C-alpha cells in the first residue's frame, strides 16, 4: 500500500478551507458530487463549489493537507478530478469497502448506508424509472425533503436529482455528513474483524488499496491502452477478411471463411451452418468424430488427426475476431488518439478481481501485436510468478511452505521435500488449490498433505465451509458468500475456522440442500461448492495482493513519467519513456516487496515477478 497515516475522526467544523492545528496527513475529507455542484466536508474543510471548480479544490487540498478522500464511490466522487489530470492521493471508497466487508456486487449509497446502520439489504429503496412519454406520474407527490425515509433507509436518488437541486445547497452537505458516518462505521467494522491491532491495521490497509484500485480504474479509463491501428487493421484482415463495403459484401466474406471448413465436409454436409452447434455436431459425426458437444476442449484431441476439426477450430478463432474484435470493435472503442478504452471495475463482485470491458481483459492473443508503445516509449510488462501457492503460504501461515517461497521456483524445493520430480510437485500444489483428487494429482496430493499439513488444512477447512454454505473471508477480509447471508460482523464459529487473525462467520441455513434435490445431485453440488470455496479463498487473497501492488506502483510512477495502461489478472503493463525503462523495472520489483510486506503483515513469504521491456505486448514471454 502506498501510504500510511494517522486518522482524525472528529466532527467536521472549523472555518471553510482552514487548516486546524495538528491536523494529520490522511485525515478524512468527504467529496460529494451531484448536478452542477460539489461539496467537500471534513475537519477544517466545509466548501460548496461549482462542479467545474472541483479539480482545483482537490489540487489545492492535496498540496496543503494531503487528506484521505472519502467518496460514496470513486466513479461518483472523483471522475471529474481524474479526468482533469489531477493525481489523487489517499482515498476511502465506501462502495469498495462495502464489497470487501459484506461481499457481492451491489454497493449503492443505499446499500452502504443500510449495512452501516444494520438495516435489511433487501429493503434498500430502488430508483423509479420514469415512464416514456410522461414528464411525471399521475400519482407523483411533492418532493420529500428527507434524505432518510421513515424506515431509516437512504433515499434512492440521494446522489442524483435530490442532492443536485441547485435551490437546496445544504443537501450535498447533509449527504457528505452521512458519508463521514459511514466511513467511521466501516472503520469500526474492519477493526471488529481483527483479533489484534496488527491485523486491524493490515485489514485497513486493504481498504486503502482497494480504494486506490478504484481510482486507478478511472485513470485506466481516461488513459486507455495504446494501439498500433495499422497493425490492428492488418491482423483483423488476416482473420476476418477485408472490410466489407455493404451487407452483401459481408455475406460474401463470411461464405469465403466458411468454405475453408466446409471443403473438408463429407458429401451432403457442404451446406452446414457453422454457427449452429447442432448442425456442427452432426457434421462432425458424419466425419466420424462422435462427441457429446462441440466445445473446443472436447475437439482438441482430434485436431492433429482430423483436418475438419483443425479447420473448424481455426475458423472459430477467426470468427471470434470477425464478430467481436473486428472492424466495428476497432471503430467503436479505439479512439482517434489510438487508445483502446472501456469501463473498468475494481471488483468483480465475487473473489474481488479487477475487470474491464471492450476487450481489455479478453483480447485474443492473435491481436496482442497491436498493443504497442508510442514512439519514444516502451511497455514494462510485469507478471506475478506462481502467485497462488505463494499466497497460500501467507493465508495458511505454514512456515514450511513459506520457506519454499524463498526460491525463484517454488516447485523445486517442494519437489525436493516430497522426494519427487518438479512436474509432479506442481500438479500436487495446483490440485490442492483447485480440489482435484483423481489420477496422478490425487496420489501426489497425499504426500503434500503429510509434508505441509498447515497449508493443506486451511484448504480443507475452506472446502468444508463451502459444502456447508458458510461464507469465507480472504486474507484481506473480503466476504465470499456461499449461500445464505452471514450474521453481523464479529460473530461466528471461532478464529480457527478462518484465516489467521480474522474472526469467522457462518450462515444460518446449516448447509441444507434445496427442496427436491436428490442425494446424488446434492452431493455433486456440495462438492462443486467446496472446490469453489477452496480456490476462492486463495484467488480472492491474490486479487488483494495484486491491487495492493498496482496501487503502490501507481503511486510511485510520477518521477519516471509512466502510466499503468493495463491490469490483467496478475499482470501489469506500464507505459514509460524509453530512457526510464530500467528504472521502472527496478521500481515494480521494489513496489512488490513493499506491497507484499504490508498486505501479508510479514516478509516471511517471497513474491516474484517475470518482468520484461518490450515494444509490443506480444513480445513479452509468458
- pLDDT reported for residue 354: 95
Looking from the CA of 588 toward its CB, the CA atoms found within 13 Å total: 29
Residues 609, 572: Cα–Cα separation, whole Å: 10
CATH 3.30.70.370 domain locations along the chain:
342-386+544-619
Residues 485, 469: Cα–Cα separation, whole Å: 9
Class of domain 342-386+544-619: alpha beta
Q: Which residues pair with 608 in a beta bridge?
A: 385
Q: What percent of the chain has pLDDT over 70?
A: 87
Q: How far is CA 582 from the centre of its chain?
A: 28
73 contact partners, CB below 8 Å, separation of at least 6: 93, 94, 95, 96, 107, 214
- pLDDT reported for residue 475: 96
> Whose grid coordinates read 486451511?
458
Residues 353, 544: Cα–Cα separation, whole Å: 8
CATH 3.30.420 domain locations along the chain:
28-127+147-222
Highest mean pLDDT among 10-24, 28-42, 153-167, 510-524: 28-42
In degrees rounded to 5, what are phi and psi of residue 196? -160, 165
Q: Is the pLDDT reported for residue 381 higher than 50?
A: yes
- pLDDT reported for residue 441: 63
- pLDDT reported for residue 130: 52
Q: Nine-digit cell at 603? A: 516478509
Q: Nine-digit cell at 10? A: 472528529
- pLDDT reported for residue 2: 53
Cβ–Cβ under 8 Å, residues 183 and 28: yes
Q: Is the pLDDT reported for residue 101 higher than 60?
A: yes
Greatest CA separation for the chain? 88
Helical packing angle, 197-223 and 94-102, nearest 10°: 130
Write the CA distances from 508 to 114, 167, 474, 498, 526, integer angstroms.
20, 47, 20, 17, 17
State pLDDT tens for residues 209-253.
999 999 999 999 999 999 999 999 999 999 999 999 999 999 999
- pLDDT reported for residue 12: 30
Q: Is the pLDDT reported for residue 154 higher than 50?
A: yes
Q: Is the pLDDT reported for residue 511 higher than 70?
A: no
Among the listed residues 181, 159, 174, the one whose alpha carbon sits nearest the alpha carbon of residue 28 = 181
Residues 371, 382: Cα–Cα separation, whole Å: 15
Q: Where are the alpha helices (DSSP H) in 194-306?
A: 197-223, 229-240, 247-262, 277-286, 296-299
Average pLDDT (97-112) is 94
- pLDDT reported for residue 143: 58
State pLDDT tens for residues 406-461.
999 999 999 999 988 999 899 999 989 887 766 666 677 888 989 999 999 999 99
How high is the mean pLDDT of the chain?
88
CATH fold for domain 28-127+147-222: Nucleotidyltransferase; domain 5 (3.30.420)
Cβ–Cβ under 8 Å, residues 565 and 546: no
Residues 326, 321: Cα–Cα separation, whole Å: 5
Q: What percent of the chain has pLDDT over 90?
A: 77
- pLDDT reported for residue 195: 81
- pLDDT reported for residue 6: 31
Q: Which helix (H) or strand (E) holds 47?
A: strand 45-50
User: DSSP letters of 521-534?
Assistant: HHHHHHHHHHHHHH
Residues 72, 49: Cα–Cα separation, whole Å: 18
State pLDDT tens for residues 533-553.
999 999 999 999 999 999 999
State pLDDT tens for residues 339-377.
999 999 999 877 899 999 999 999 999 999 999 999 999
Per-residue confidence at 469, pLDDT binned at 50, 70, 90?
A: very high
pTM score, whole prediction: 0.89
Q: Which residues pair with 344 in a beta bridge?
A: 356
Cβ–Cβ under 8 Å, residues 32 and 175: yes
Residues 591, 587: Cα–Cα separation, whole Å: 6
Q: Report the Cα–Cα distance between both ends of the chain, in Å, rounded.
A: 27
Amino acid at each position: 500500500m502506498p501510504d500510511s497515516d494517522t486518522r482524525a475522526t472528529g466532527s467536521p467544523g472549523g472555518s471553510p478551507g482552514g487548516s486546524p492545528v495538528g491536523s494529520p496527513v490522511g485525515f478524512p475529507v468527504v467529496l460529494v458530487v451531484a448536478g452542477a455542484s460539489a461539496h467537500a466536508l471534513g475537519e477544517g474543510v466545509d466548501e460548496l463549489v461549482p462542479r467545474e471548480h472541483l479539480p482545483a479544490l482537490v489540487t489545492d487540498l492535496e498540496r496543503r493537507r494531503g487528506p484521505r478522500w472519502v467518496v460514496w464511490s470513486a466513479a461518483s466522487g472523483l471522475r471529474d478530478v481524474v479526468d482533469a489530470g489531477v493525481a489523487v492521493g489517499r482515498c476511502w471508497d465506501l462502495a469498495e469497502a462495502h464489497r470487501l466487508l459484506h461481499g457481492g456486487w451491489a454497493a449503492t449509497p443505499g446499500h452502504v448506508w443500510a449495512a452501516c446502520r444494520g438495516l435489511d439489504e433487501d429493503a434498500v429503496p430502488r430508483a423509479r424509472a420514469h415512464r416514456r412519454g410522461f414528464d411525471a406520474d399521475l400519482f407523483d407527490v411533492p418532493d420529500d425533503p428527507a434524505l432518510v425515509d421513515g424506515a431509516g433507509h437512504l433515499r434512492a436518488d440521494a446522489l442524483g436529482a435530490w442532492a443536485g437541486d441547485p435551490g437546496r445547497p445544504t443537501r450535498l452537505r447533509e449527504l457528505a455528513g452521512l458519508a463521514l458516518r459511514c466511513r467511521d462505521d466501516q472503520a469500526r467494522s474492519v477493526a471488529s474483524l481483527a483479533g489484534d491491532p496488527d491485523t486491524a491495521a493490515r485489514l485497513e490497509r486493504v481498504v486503502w488499496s482497494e480504494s486506490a484500485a478504484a481510482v486507478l480504474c478511472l485513470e485506466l479509463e481516461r488513459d486507455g491502452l495504446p494501439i498500433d491501428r495499422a497493425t490492428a487493421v492488418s491482423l483483423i484482415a488476416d482473420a476476418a477478411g477485408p472490410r466489407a463495403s455493404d451487407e452483401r459484401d459481408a455475406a460474401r466474406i463470411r461464405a469465403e471463411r466458411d468454405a475453408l471448413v466446409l471443403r473438408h465436409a463429407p458429401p451432403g454436409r457442404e451446406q452446414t451452418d457453422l454457427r449452429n452447434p447442432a448442425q456442427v455436431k452432426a457434421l462432425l459425426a458424419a466425419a466420424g468424430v462422435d462427441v457429446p458437444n462441440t466445445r473446443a476442449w472436447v475437439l482438441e484431441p482430434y485436431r492433429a488427426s482430423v483436418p475438419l476439426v483443425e479447420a473448424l477450430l481455426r475458423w472459430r478463432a477467426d470468427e471470434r475476431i470477425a464478430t467481436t474484435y473486428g472492424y466495428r470493435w476497432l471503430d467503436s472503442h479505439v479512439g482517434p488518439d489510438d487508445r483502446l478504452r472501456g469501463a473498468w471495475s475494481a471488483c468483480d463482485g465475487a473473489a474481488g478481481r479487477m475487470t474491464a470491458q471492450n476487450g481489455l481483459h479478453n483480447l485474443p492473443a492473435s491481436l496482442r501485436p497491436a498493443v504497442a508503445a508510442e514512439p519514444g516509449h516502451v511497455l514494462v510488462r510485469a507478471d506475478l510468478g506462481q502467485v497462488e501457492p505463494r499466497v497460500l503460504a501467507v493465508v495458511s501461515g505454514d512456515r514450511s511452505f513459506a520457506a519454499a517461497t524463498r526460491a525463484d521456483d517454488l516447485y523445486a524445493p517442494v519437489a525436493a521435500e516430497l522426494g519427487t520430480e518438479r512436474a509432479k510437485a506442481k500438479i500436487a500444489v495446483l490440485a490442492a488449490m483447485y480440489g482435484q483428487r483423481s489420477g496422478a494429482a490425487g496420489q501426489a496430493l497425499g504426500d503434500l498433505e503429510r509434508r505441509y499439513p498447515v497449508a493443506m488444512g486451511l484448504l480443507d477447512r475452506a472446502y468444508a465451509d463451502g459444502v456447508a454454505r458458510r461464507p469465507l473471508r480472504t486474507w484481506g477480509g473480503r466476504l465470499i458468500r456461499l449461500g445464505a447471508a452471514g450474521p453481523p460482523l464479529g460473530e461466528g464459529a471461532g478464529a480457527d475456522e478462518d484465516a489467521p487473525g480474522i474472526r469467522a462467520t457462518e450462515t444460518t441455513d446449516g448447509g441444507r440442500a434445496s427442496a427436491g434435490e436428490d442425494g446424488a445431485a446434492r452431493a455433486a453440488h456440495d462438492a462443486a461448492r467446496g472446490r469453489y470455496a477452496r480456490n476462492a479463498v486463495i484467488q480472492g487473497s491474490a486479487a488483494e495482493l495484486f491491487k495492493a501492488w498496482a496501487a503502490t506502483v501507481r503511486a510511485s510512477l510520477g518521477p519516471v513519467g509512466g502510466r499503468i495502461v493495463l491490469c490483467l489478472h496478475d499482470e501489469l503493463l506500464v507505459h514509460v519513456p524509453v530512457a526510464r525503462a530500467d528504472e521502472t523495472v527496478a521500481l515494480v520489483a521494489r513496489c512488490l516487496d513493499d506491497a507484499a510486506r504490508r498486505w501479508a503483515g510479514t516478509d516471511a513469504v517471497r513474491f516474484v515477478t517475470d518482468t520484461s521491456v518490450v515494444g509490443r505486448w506480444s513480445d513479452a514471454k509468458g
